[in-house]
C-alpha cells in the first residue's frame, strides 16, 4: 500500500521537491502546489480538538475508572460513549452544519469577526466530540489498572481522594495518558468527512481560529475527482502519502506505549 502511494506520487515529488512542504500557494491553474496551508490547517484543527477534548476524556476516564467503576449510571455512560464512537462521521458533519455552525456564528458576531460560521474552530469542536470516546475508553483502562496497593498505601497515610489522584494515579498513568492522547491525535488527523463539511475549504494560511481553512484530508476529498493533469493528481496523492506516514508513526508509537504499560 505504501509503495502504491509512493509510486503514484513520484511525478509530484520530482516536479515539486521540498517545495511541496513549505510552498504557500496551492494553485492548480498555474501548476503550483504547496501544501503548507493544509499542513497548518490540519495541525491547528487537531491540536485545538485535542485541547478541547482532553480535559473531558480525562474526567470521563477518572469518573469510570476511579470514582464510579460500577453501577447503572456508569454502565449507561460507558455504553453511551461507545455509541458516540459508532455514529458515522457524515452524520456528525451534517449535525454540525445545523447545530454548531449557528452557535459559532453568534460567537463570531460577539467577538467581531466575519461570521462565516464554518472554519477551524467549528471543525475542531466537532472533532473534539468525535475523539472523546477513543481517548476516554483508553484512559479508563489505564486508570483501572493502577495497583490497589499503591492507592491504599496513600489512603492509609491520610491522603484525600484528590491527593491520591494527583500524586499516585496521574504519575502512574502518565505514559498511558500520552498514548491515549496520541491515538486520539491519529484519529483527528485522518478524519475527513465532518471536517470537510465544516472547515470552509479555502486554500490559504489561516490567520486566526475563526478563519476558514483546509486540512490534508479535506483537500483530498474535495479535489481528488476533479484533479486534471499529472502533477495535480499526484500532488494530491502525495498529500495522502504524508497523511499515511504521519498517522502510521503516531499509531505505532501509541500502541508501543500501551503495550509497555500493560506488561
State the residues that interact with other proteins by CB under 8 A. Answer: 1, 4-5, 8, 55-57, 59-60, 62-63, 67, 77, 79-84, 86-95, 97-99, 129, 132, 136, 160-163, 165, 186, 189-193, 197, 217, 220-221, 224-225, 236-237, 240, 243-244, 247-248, 250-252, 255
Q: Answer whether 207's CB lies under 8 Å from 114's CB.
A: no
> Cβ of residue 179: shortest distance to other proteins, in angstroms?
13
* Minimum distance from residue 160 beta carbon to other proteins (Å): 4
Closest distance between other proteins and the C-beta of residue 190, in Å? 2
Q: Which is nearer to other proteins, 1 or 30 (CB)?
A: 1
- The residue to which cell 494560511 is assigned: 205
Identity of the residue, 13 or 97, whose beta carbon is nearer to other proteins in the bound complex: 97
Phi, psi for 255 (deg, rounded to 5) = -65, -35
Identity of the residue, 120 or 185, whose beta carbon is nearer to other proteins in the bound complex: 185
Which cell is 128 given?
473534539
Q: 108 and 116 in contact (C-beta within 8 Å)?
A: yes
Contact 19, 36 (CB under 8 A): no
Q: At its nearest, how many Å lie between other proteins and the CB of residue 13?
A: 15
Output 22 or 99, the one with its CB closest to other proteins: 99
| Residue 224 CB, nearest approach to other proteins (Å) | 5
**Beta-carbon-side half-sphere exposure of residue 79 (alpha carbons within 13 Å):** 6
Neighbouring residues of 257: CB distance < 8 A, sequence distance ≥ 6: 175, 176, 178, 179, 182
C-beta closer to other proteins: residue 89 or 202 = 89
CA-to-CA dists, residue 27 to 8, 24, 48, 198, 213, angstroms = 20, 10, 27, 22, 15
Q: Which value, in Å, is the radius of gyration of the alpha carbons in the chain?
A: 21
Contact by Cβ (8 Å): 213, 120: yes
Shortest CB 112 distance to other proteins, Å: 27
* Between 8 and 202, CB nearer to other proteins: 8
Amino acid at each position: 500500500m505504501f509503495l502504491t502511494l509512493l509510486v503514484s506520487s513520484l511525478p509530484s515529488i520530482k516536479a515539486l521537491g521540498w517545495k511541496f512542504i513549505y510552498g504557500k500557494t496551492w494553485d492548480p491553474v498555474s501548476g503550483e502546489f504547496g501544501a503548507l496551508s493544509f499542513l497548518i490547517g490540519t495541525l491547528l484543527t487537531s491540536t485545538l480538538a485535542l485541547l478541547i477534548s482532553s480535559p473531558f476524556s480525562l474526567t470521563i476516564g477518572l469518573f469510570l475508572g476511579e470514582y464510579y467503576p460500577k453501577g447503572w449510571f456508569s454502565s449507561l455512560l460507558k455504553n453511551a460513549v461507545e455509541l458516540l464512537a459508532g455514529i458515522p462521521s457524515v452524520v456528525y458533519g451534517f449535525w454540525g452544519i445545523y447545530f454548531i455552525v449557528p452557535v459559532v456564528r453568534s460567537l463570531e458576531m460577539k467577538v467581531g469577526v466575519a461570521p462565516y460560521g464554518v472554519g477551524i474552530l467549528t471543525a475542531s469542536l466537532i472533532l473534539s466530540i468525535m475523539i472523546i470516546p477513543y481517548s476516554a475508553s483508553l484512559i479508563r483502562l489505564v486508570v483501572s489498572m493502577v495497583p490497589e496497593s499503591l492507592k491504599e498505601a496513600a489512603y492509609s497515610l491520610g491522603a484525600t481522594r484528590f491527593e491520591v489522584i494527583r500524586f499516585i494515579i496521574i504519575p502512574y498513568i502518565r505514559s498511558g495518558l500520552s498514548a491515549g492522547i496520541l491515538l486520539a491525535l491519529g484519529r483527528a488527523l485522518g478524519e475527513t468527512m465532518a471536517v470537510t463539511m465544516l472547515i470552509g475549504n479555502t486554500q490559504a494560511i489561516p490567520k486566526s481560529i475563526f478563519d476558514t481553512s483546509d486540512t490534508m484530508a479535506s483537500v483530498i476529498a474535495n479535489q481528488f475527482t476533479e484533479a486534471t493533469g499529472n502533477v495535480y493528481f499526484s500532488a494530491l496523492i502525495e498529500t495522502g502519502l504524508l497523511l499515511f506516514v504521519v498517522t502510521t508513526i503516531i499509531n505505532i508509537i501509541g500502541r508501543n506505549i500501551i503495550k509497555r504499560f500493560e506488561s
